[in-house]
Amino acid sequence: IKDVVAYLDKLDIRVDAHCIGDAAVRLFLDAVEHARQVNGPNGPRHQSTHTTWVHPEDRARFKELNVIPEFSPIFWFPSPASVGLKTLLNDDQVASVFPIAEVLAAGGRGVIGTDWPVTPLNFTWVGLEALVTRANPWGDLPGTWGTPIPLEQAIQMLTLNGAWAMELENETGSIETGKSAD
């Protein structure tokens, strides 16, 4: 994977890797780190998709390597995967799932993904609620998933950070003269 990511990085092609476990996240971050060493630090903004678990030692690496941690809060509820995880994991594991607050605190620029077509596109508001409360919006799955983040941070993930992730931050993502306000 290191050679593939380095090759694509050299061609200025962004790599989006689905990283569910902390070993997958570390493997991808190691590959991007290798690409940065081989090609220099200014390559494309690669993305870790879903970013379900992140080892505490890897949380600051998103900022260091200019890697986008994408989280998909609308995937959490309602989802057979969520129900299955709740039955398989202990409370500590559930508390550490989707460590958004921790990655943001370490300087990562997290973004919100819709996981479309797995989930409907109109679930953006549900995802926003899940980020802020970390609870099931429908109340049919007790407890919370990880640490909630303030509404302001959640909105930034959805707007400014989303535009940054698409490398469109000079065109959209904030309401400013000369930018699209969509």
DSSP states along 63-111: HHHT-EEEE-HHHHSS-HHHHHHHHHS-HHHHHTSS-HHHHHHTT---E
Give residue 182's pLDDT: 54
In the beta sheet, which residues pair with residue 125? Answer: none
The token pair that represents 10 in the structure block: 């050299």
Rounded distance, CA 71 to CA 103, Å?
11
- pTM reported for the whole predicted model: 0.90
Contact 82, 141 (CB under 8 A): yes
Give residue 145's pLDDT: 76
Nearest to 8, CA basis, from 42, 37, 46: 46
Torsion sign across C-alpha atoms 80, 19, 100, 7: negative
Q: In the structure, what pLDDT confidence band is assigned to residue 136 with cuts at 50, 70 and 90?
A: confident
pLDDT in tens, 79-89: 666 667 777 77
pLDDT in tens, 65-104: 999 999 987 666 656 666 677 777 777 777 778 899 999 9
